[in-house]
Amino acid sequence: MPTLAESYAALQATVEEAGEHNDTAVQLDAWDATLSRLNGKEPPTLYVLTTLCEYEQCLAAGQPNHIALPSWYKRILANWVSFSPA
């Protein structure tokens, strides 16, 4: 069974092989359905981890107040728990 990355690469190759002007509505729908199935296999987004990365980017850009730092317990669990984005 191919990995998720291999499946995305295979879909990309299929789209590129079709050429820029040779796609039909049916073919586009099939590619969209394949992409949706692949997206469903992805692991959950770790929103706090994403927020921590954005916070570090803001610090590096000199804008420490641009995004709020998550609470201490969420920062501790950010690598393992998928908190809601709210």
DSSP 8-state code for residue 82: -
| pTM higher than 0.85 | no
pLDDT tens track for 38-50: 999 988 888 899 9
41 vs 34: CA distance, rounded Å: 11
Q: Are residues 33 and 51 in the same domain?
A: no
pLDDT tens track for 11-26: 999 988 888 777 788 8
pLDDT tens track for 47-68: 899 999 999 999 999 998 999 9
Q: Which domain covers residue 61, as residue numbers? A: 47-77
Up-side HSE of residue 20: CA atoms within 13 Å toward CB?
A: 0
Give how many domains the chain has, as a whole number: 2
Q: Please state, as a whole number, how many other Cβ atoms lie within 10 Å of the Cβ of residue 5.
A: 9
Specify if 83 maps to a domain: no
Specify if 31 maps to a domain: yes
Specify if 29 maps to a domain: yes
DSSP 8-state code for residue 43: P
